[in-house]
Structure 1
Amino acid sequence: MSSIPSRDDSSTAALGGLSANQGRDSRVRIIQLKWVALQDAAEAVRALAGLEARHLPDEIRDFPEFIQSAGGWWLDHAARAVGDLAAVMEQGLAALLSARTKGANASIAALALWREFEAATAAIVLLAPPPADTTDRPAGDIDNIEAA
């Protein structure tokens, strides 16, 4: 019998002694920290590519808050996607810096990594659910929903 809890075990033991809410809060905090680190790494890649600094759009800057309020499967997918992108950026930035220390021009490689980062970030941001529709509609009136 394994002492490692399975991923399907939703008990407190599977969360390392944390309650479900504490475990969720920890995951959200990890996403927030990784997201900030990713944006900082992206700026370093932009600089290596010779691109100017950018203004971060609200939907990118505020993504951790959007996904936190969504919870559920959105949070699960976001955690995986942010972790995957962090791994790519860590390895990519390390390779770029290594090339630079050896005197190589890494600007083309940096531009390619930047484009990959930009595409991945756009896909991750799409994981956030759409904002709640606040228009007034009669409950259960499907014709109004389809026409809207």
Structure 2
Amino acid sequence: MTPQALVVRMLPPFAGWLALAALALPGGSPLRGAAVGLFLAAGPGAALTGLCGPALAARPAEGPVEGRDAGFARGSDRLERLMLAVLLSIAAVLLVGTVLIAVGVFSGYLVLLTLTVLTTVTALCPRLRASPARRTLPAASPPTTRKGSAL
């Protein structure tokens, strides 16, 4: 793994720990709200999307048949990963919050701490490999008959 890839991989956990550190700022501080909001909106999902990155890249997007745009697949894949990261982050926040409410220990600090630890663990996990492409069987051909046969 290159140092650049390691830095990119560790950005979501770093954002989480930065958001935890931002809780030391006064309650109405815009910097505090921005750090926590950005992490909760994209941090956990970015770590999960990074974990599944090779599997997601195995099957690139297919553009419309009418217009073969060379940049479609690249832009479409980026948009797909961005939206997936945001939606996975929202799902993780809701899931962790619901579990903490059910256990009876809900607090904003505990939600942020739990998500930061989970994001750190996810970022340290090895990447998932892409499964090999499925082989399709050739279409069944009709049985051949000889000329002049009854069948």
Query: TM-score when scaled to structure 1?
Result: 0.32
* Higher-RCO chain (CA-CA 8 Å, sequence separation at least 6): 2
Query: TM-score when scaled to structure 2?
Result: 0.31
Structure of greater Rg: 2
